[in-house]
Structure 1
Amino acid sequence: MFTVNGNKVKIEEHLTISGYLASAGIDPSLVVVEYNHQIPDRQEWPNIHIQNGDNLEIVKFIGGG
């Protein structure tokens, strides 16, 4: 299990940040991801494997005026 925005999520084998975003239907160009209290570069997302106990915070950009 890992945590996404405060919610527990069952971990899939070999799941990366990019893989999680894709499986959740989240457009990676519209979010910032904090991974274990650090903000990795987007280019690193396909190489970061989520482990049990990890924490993700996903912040979506919302337009407005």
Structure 2
Amino acid sequence: MDIIVNGKPHKTNEKCTISQLLADLGMHATHIAVEVNMTVVSRSQHSQFVLSQHDRVEIIQAVGGG
């Protein structure tokens, strides 16, 4: 299925959850925020939230600094 991740086309399996997508991208859920179609999805929902065809996913990673 085709989705958009951070503005770029991405192919993923049907019934892919946010947790599966993050694993496929080599990312850990720690210190990130995920938005799907302009709605923030809480970390507790990542393993249950199933993505749909043409969803727009934004993954924002927190970076420490000073």
TM over 0.5: yes
> Which amino acid is the alignment partner of residue 59 of structure 1?
I
CA distance in 2 between partners of 1:49 and 1:59 (Å): 19
Greater percentage in strand: 2
Q: What TM-score does the superposition give when structure 2 sets the normalisation length?
A: 0.90
Deviation of 1:13 after TM superposition, in Å, equals: 2.3
**Residue 5 of structure 1 corresponds to which residue in structure 2?**
6
CA distance in 2 between partners of 1:23 and 1:62 (Å): 21
**Residue 20 of structure 1 corresponds to which residue in structure 2?**
21
CA RMSD, aligned part only? 0.9
Q: Which runs of 4+ in 1 moved over 6 A?
A: none
* 8 Å contact kept, 1:16–1:47: yes
CA distance in 2 between partners of 1:12 and 1:37 (Å): 22
